[in-house]
Amino acid sequence: MFTSRERKQTEVSPGQEHPKKAFGWAARDSSGVLSPFKFSRRETGEKDVRFKVLYCGICHSDIHMAKNDWSTTTYPVVPGHELVGVVTEVGCKVKNFKVGDRVGVGCIVGSDGTCDNCVHHLENYCPNVIQTYSSEYYDGTMTYGGYSNNMVADEHFIVRIPDNLPLDCAAPLLCAGITTYSPLRYYGLDKPGMHLGVNGLGGLGHVAVKFAKALGLNVTVISTSPNKKKAAIEHLHADAFLLSTDQDQMQAAVGTMDGIIDTVPTVRPLEPLINLLKTNGKVVTIGIAAKPLDLPVLPLDLGRKMIAGSAIGGMKETQEMIDFAAEHNITADIEVIPIDYLNTAMERVVKKDVRFRFVIDIENTLNSSC
């Protein structure tokens, strides 16, 4: 389905390897500090969609990657996998998009198109998946993400943003949205009346609450931050708020939940979450810490419980998620920032000080900073 991967190593500098100029912000080393960066992008290929980036969300994964937390980063890295904008050019074989369309790109921009996962619309699990940034593309050059002024991608990896969703607060759906929607669906945590816990009320967590409420679930936010209770209950309409550092509150909720979406980005104990589950309950760990978590087997076995994982979603499901969000008026709660606030914003995310996603105003602030 896609161009076969030809791995050509290139020694040319990022600014020279392709004909189209691009600029953004990149981290150069594991300090994770970002600064302006000139690079280039390919010409619009026959199946490619090129777009002007208007907004890009800051996912905690961008911070993990900027700091090489997972030992997978290639520097310089231009993060950003929640990017949205307006189409400026399409290739001659593009079927579904035209100039002027509102579009976005999430975490992936390529896959082999032939493996069992791709055939089943699970490009996200393809062994040859190409990430939006810090991945090697088919031509051997590195991919660069959405903290940049323009983007080009195969139309298969382009998502249409419905007209009723404002672009700035729709941007985080491209990662935070699909990463929480997909496990709710796949693990059957989508039946009205089920009791869902959402551990960590950050970018992913607050979108998980919104999807779960739209699906008719009874939602409890599990949080380390007492000052998020008001927003959780009054604004996000969660049914309950559990302070995970309060042993009495945690004890009172033991055995009450059908499932938990666990979004915490650092090493955390799983046993308190397992204890919150009913028999047959599931903890879906989507927060990815830099080090492995301990797996307590006994409390799992004694309740036939499950610890599960999930990573973003396939392209078909991503479009389905965006359309579901449009139908239910679900967007992220965001704080729009100029690009030169990026490093401060990332520090604030690490300190749990964001309500609930930072989104960079690329259109109005990136050009002037370079």
Q: Across-strand partners of 309?
A: 285
String of contacts with Zn ion for each residue 281-320, x by CB under 5 A: ----------------------------------------
Name the residue nearer to ligand NAP (CB basis): 3 or 319. Answer: 319
Pick what 318 binds: Zn ion, ligand NAP, none; C-beta below 5 to 8 Å, kind-dependent.
none
Partner whose footprint covers residue 223, from Zn ion, ligand NAP, none (CB < 5 to 8 Å by kind) = ligand NAP
- HSE of 30, CA atoms in CB hemisphere, 13 A: 6
Nearest to 127 by CA among 114, 140, 137: 114
Find the binding residues for ligand NAP in span 184-243 (CB under 6 A): 200-205, 223-225, 228
249 touching ligand NAP, by CB under 6 A: no
Which partner, Zn ion, ligand NAP, none, binds residue 266 by CB below 5 to 8 Å per kind?
ligand NAP
Length of the chain: 370
- Beta carbon nearer to ligand NAP, 132 or 149: 132
Q: Give the C-alpha separation, 66 to 213, whole Å.
A: 33
Question: What are the angstrom distances between the C-alpha of 293 and each of 77, 208, 265, 306, 341?
Answer: 27, 22, 11, 15, 33
Q: In terms of CB distance, is 59 or 264 closer to Zn ion?
A: 59
Residues 59-98 that bind ligand NAP (CB under 6 A): 59-61, 64
Residue in 22, 34, 59, 65 binding Zn ion, rule: CB under 5 A: 59
How many whole angstroms separate alpha carbon 72 and alpha carbon 264?
20
**Which of 78, 153, 175, 215 lies at the binding interface for ligand NAP (CB under 6 A)?**
175
Q: Rounded to an integer, what distance in angstroms lies between the CA atom of residue 217 and that of residue 210?
A: 10
The whole-angstrom separation of Cα 74 and Cα 208 is: 30
Q: Candidates 116-124, 125-133, 174-182, 334-342 — which segment interacts with Zn ion by CB under 5 A? A: 174-182
Q: How many residues bind ligand NAP (CB under 6 A)?
A: 28
Q: How many residues bind Zn ion (CB under 5 A)?
A: 3
Tell me the residue number closest to ligand NAP, measured at CB.
202
Query: Degrees (nearest 5) of the Cα angle 172, 147, 332?
Result: 15
Give the number of other CB atoms < 10 A from CB of residue 45.
17
Q: Does 175 bind Zn ion (CB under 5 A)?
A: yes
Question: Cα-flanking dihedrals φ and ψ of residue 114, to 5°?
Answer: -125, -20
Cα→Cα distances 183→49, 74, 212, 262, 307, Å: 29, 29, 11, 11, 12
Task: Choose which of 33, 243, 288, 293 interacts with ligand NAP (CB under 6 A).
Answer: 288
Number of neighbours of residue 199 by Cβ within 10 angstroms: 27
For Zn ion, the binding residues (CB under 5 A) are 59, 61, 175
For ligand NAP, the binding residues (CB under 6 A) are 59-61, 64, 175, 179, 200-205, 223-225, 228, 263-266, 286-288, 310-312, 349, 352
